[in-house]
Amino acid sequence: MNGPIKTMAGSLYARQALLPEGFRDQLVPEAEQEASLVRQLVDTFLSHAYDRVSPPLVEYEDSLLVGAGLTSSAKMFRIMDSNTQRMMAVRCDMTIQMARLAATRFADQERPLRLAYAGSVLRTKGSQIRPARQFTQAGIELVGCESLEGEMEVIAIAVEALKAVGIAEVSLDLTLPPLASLLCDAKGITGDDRTAVLSALGAKDIGAFNGLKDRALFEALVSATGPVDTALVALKTIGFEGEAASLVERLIRLVEMLQEKLPSLPVTLDPCETHGFEYKTGIGFALFARNGNGELGRGGRYAVTHADGHTEEATGFSVYLDSLMDALPVATAAQKIFLPFNTSASEGVRLRTEGWRTIQGLTVEADCRKEAARLGCTHIFEKGAVCAL
Amino acid sequence: MNGPIKTMAGSLYARQALLPEGFRDQLVPEAEQEASLVRQLVDTFLSHAYDRVSPPLVEYEDSLLVGAGLTSSAKMFRIMDSNTQRMMAVRCDMTIQMARLAATRFADQERPLRLAYAGSVLRTKGSQIRPARQFTQAGIELVGCESLEGEMEVIAIAVEALKAVGIAEVSLDLTLPPLASLLCDAKGITGDDRTAVLSALGAKDIGAFNGLKDRALFEALVSATGPVDTALVALKTIGFEGEAASLVERLIRLVEMLQEKLPSLPVTLDPCETHGFEYKTGIGFALFARNGNGELGRGGRYAVTHADGHTEEATGFSVYLDSLMDALPVATAAQKIFLPFNTSASEGVRLRTEGWRTIQGLTVEADCRKEAARLGCTHIFEKGAVCAL
C-alpha cells in the first residue's frame, strides 16, 4: 500500500506524507474490505436482536477511568476541553462505554440487555505484536444474565459472526482468569511469591514452581492446558475448593453445553491464562482461525457496577478488525466498467442496478478501450453490451 | 433517548452519565439508522467507481494545517504524541485528508482520481446551529478533472445518493464563492470597504452599499439570487469582465447542463454567498431537502496543491449525517421475535435467514408471551409458527 510518493525533501509535502507511527491510511481495497466486514459482523449481531449503540469517541476522563477502564488509563490519549477546562480522554476500548451505558442510560431497561457496537478506538502506544494505535473494534454485550446460557449465547454468536465473514474454521480457547488468584488466596501465597506464581502460570514455566509448597497444584494446573478432551481430564483430577471449585465446575458445564450445541467447534483450555483478561470475573474466551496465527477476538464474564454499588453480571465479546483482516484472504479490487462519453444516463443506471461499478468517461476519446484500460477498468460498455477488456 | 438514569448525586456514576457538551451516545434506533445511511451513501459512491479510502482520525498537526485546513486550525483538538513529542491534531473535516492523499500517495495515479470516504470528525467547539462536536461525514472527491463535466458528475451523484436514502425532493443551490473578491479586486475596493462589501453581500444587505461608487453592481448581484430562471436573467444583465466573466460564463453553462441532464432538479442561485465556501476556487453548491430546514451537504471546486507547487483542480461533495437524519423521518425500532427456551437452533437460523431478529429465551418461562412482551418483542415463535403479540 506504500506506493511511490512525490516528495521534495524537507518540504511541507514530504512531511505531509508522514503519519504518526501506528496511524495509517487505509487505501483500496482494504478500506472497503474493513467496512464490509464491520457491516457483516454487525448484521449478525443485529439478527440476534442485539441493539446497536454508538457512544462518542471522547468522554470526560473520569467516566472512562472506572471499572475495566482503570487498568487502561495509560492507553488513553487526553484532550483538554476548552469549554470546561476538564480533561477528556479518547476511548481505547468500547467495552468500557458499554458498561457505562448499562449502568446509566440503560439502568432501568429490562434484562438481559443486549448491546452491539462497532467503532474506532485509539491507543497512546502500540505493542510489539500490534504496532497500530488506531483500530476498529466490533462486539456485543449481554448484560444481566447470570447463567451459563449467557456465555453460550455470546460464544455461539461470536462463532457465527466469524464464520459469516469467511473464517472457515474457528476454534475456541477457554480461560479462567480469576482462578490463579483464587488459588493463591486459598494457599496463602502473597507478596513476591504470588507475583512469581502468577507470572510463571502465565508463561507455563513449571521450573519456577520448584521449592514451592504447592508446587504439585500449580504444575497440575499447567498440565491442564490444551485440547479440551485431555485438558479437562487433567483439570478434573485437581482438588479445587470454594470459589475455585465453583468456577471450574462452571467451566466443565460450559464444555458440556458447547459439545452439545456446537459439536464441531474445536475447544482448548488454558486455565492459567490471565493476560488481557484482567477485569474478567468468570470464564474468559478467545477465538482463533484454526490455521491462522493470531487471536481474532476475545470476551468473557465481567461485572458492571451500578450507581448504588450493586454489581451486575455481563458477558461480552469483541473483535479487532485488523486481526480479522490478517486472517482473511487479501481483498481484490472491484471490477469496473467504462462508459464512453456519450453513453446514455439510463444505461448507466441499468448497469449499476445490476451491480456494476461504472466509470463515466468525462471527455470524448478517440480510443475508448485505451482510456478504459488507463482508468483501471476491467470492462467497457460498447455497442450496447458489456465487453471484457 | 434521554431516559431515566439511576444516579446518586455527586457520585462517580452521576458524573459518569454526563458527557462533555456536544458529545452524545447514539442509542436505539438512531445508531443503526446512521450506520445504515452511511452504508447506502457509500454504496452509491462505490457504484460510480469511487474508491473508498479511510485515513486515520489523527495526524501530525502540520499535515492537517495546509490548504483548506489552514482556516480550520482553531476547530481541531490537539493531542501530544508522547512517542515523538510532536503535536498531532484530530481531523475536523475529511476533505483535507482527501487533498493530502491526492497530493501524496495518489500523486502518480491516473486522473481523474475518484475517492469516497465516510468517518467521524471532531470539532473543538459546536456552533449555535450545530452544537455537536462529533459528526459523521461522508463524501466524494473527483480530482484532476478541469471541465464542467466534473461539477456535473459530482452533483448528479450527490443528488442520486440523497434520493437513494429517502430524501424525496432534493434542491440545489449554486454559489460563486470567488466572485465577490474578484469584483472587489476589479473595482479596486480594499481595506475596510472590502470587508464591508463582502459582509453586506453575504447578508444581502443592500442598504450597506449606499454611498459606494459601484453600488449598482453589487445591488444587481444581490438581486441575481433565487430560483434559477429569474436569477440567471438578472445575472446575465450584469457586465462582468476578466476572471469574473469566465466564472459566471461557467455557471451559465453548468445551469444548461443541469437543465438537460437533471431537468426535474430545482436549482437556485446565490452568487453572493461565500460563508463556508472559503477555500473554493470555482462554483460551489449546497443541497437541500426541498421541504426541509437545513442544508444536507455541500461541495464545489477547489485546488489540490502538490509537492512541486503545481495545483490540480478537484471537485467534491460531502454530507453530514446529523443534517441528513434531521431531514428524514425518525427511525422506528426493528421488530423482534422471541424464541422460547427450547426452540431448536435450526428454527432460529431459518428465521434469521428470513430476516427476523430473534431473541433467544435464556430461561424456561411459565408465560412465554409475557416474557416476550417484557423484552420488547413484537412476535413470538409458538408451535412452529410466527405469531404477532
Does the domain at A22-167+304-333 match CATH 3.30.930.10? Answer given as yes
Please state which of the ranges A180-189, A337-346, A347-356, B207-216 shows the lowest mean pLDDT: B207-216
For A33, name the nearest residue in chain B, comparing CA atoms only.
B52
Mutate to test the interface with A, among B44, B61, B82, B104 (most CBs of A within 10 A): B104
Residues of B in contact with A4 (CB under 8 A): 107-108
CA atoms within 13 A on the CB side of B299: 29
Chain-chain contact of B6 with A150 (C-beta, under 8 angstroms): no
For an interface test with A, the pick among B8, B37, B58, B152 (most A C-beta atoms closer than 10 Å) comes out as B58
Question: Do residue A57 and residue B54 have CB atoms under 8 angstroms apart?
Answer: no
- At A93 the pLDDT is 95
Which residue of chain A has the CA closest to B65?
A16
Q: Are A248 and A190 in contact (CB under 8 A)?
A: no
B134-143 and B86-90 strand pairing? unpaired
Do A16 and B103 make contact, defined as CB atoms within 8 angstroms? yes
- Predicted confidence (pLDDT) at residue A3 exceeds the cutoff of 60: no
User: What secondary structure letter does DSSP report for B7?
Assistant: -
Distance from CA of B355 to the nearest CA of A (A): 7
Strands A336-339 and A357-360: parallel
Q: What is the pLDDT of residue A129?
A: 78
What does A93-158 look like in DSSP terms, one character per residue? -HHHHHHHHHHTTTTTS-SSEEEEEEEEEE-SS--SS---SEEEEEEEEEES--SHHHHHHHHHHH
| Residue B284 pLDDT | 96
Among A88-97, A158-167, B275-284, where is mean pLDDT lowest?
B275-284
Alpha-carbon separation of residue B162 from B110, B120, B258 (angstroms): 28, 19, 17
d(CA A243, CA A249): 10
Closest CA to B322 of B178, B54, B116, B120: B120
Grid cell listed for A214: 504447592
Confidence check: pLDDT of A74 > 50 = yes
pLDDT at A17: 57
Q: What does the alpha-carbon distance between residue A96 and residue A305 come to, in Å, rounded to a whole number?
A: 11
pLDDT-derived band of residue A1, with 50, 70 and 90 as boundaries?
very low
Of B35, B51, B375, the CB nearest to A110: B375
Is a pLDDT exceeding 90 seen at residue B2?
no
pLDDT band of A8, cuts 50, 70, 90: very low
Question: What are the chain A neighbours of B25 within 8 Å (beta carbons)?
Answer: 53-56, 101, 105
The CATH architecture to which B21-167+297-333 belongs is 2-Layer Sandwich (3.30)
Q: Given a cut of 70, is residue A247 above it in pLDDT?
A: yes
Task: Tell me the pLDDT tens digit for each residue of A221-239.
Answer: 999 999 999 999 999 999 9
Question: What is the reported pLDDT for B66?
Answer: 81
CB atoms within 10 A of CB B262: 18
- pLDDT confidence of residue B273: 87
Q: Do B104 and A145 count as a contact with CB atoms less than 8 A apart?
A: no
Give residue-wise pLDDT tens across range A29-42. Answer: 999 999 999 999 99
Identify which of A17, A100, A377 has the shortest CB distance to residue B104.
Answer: A17
Q: State whether residue B173 is helix, strand or coil.
A: strand
Q: Percent of chain A at pLDDT above 70?
A: 95
- State the average pLDDT for chain A: 92
Q: pLDDT at position A314, please?
A: 97
Element counts in chain A: helices (H) and strands (E):
13, 16
- Residues A230 and B247: their CA atoms lie apart, in Å, by 79
Nearest C-alpha neighbor of A241 from the set A298, A319, A187, A278: A187
- Nearest chain B residue (CA) to A377: B49
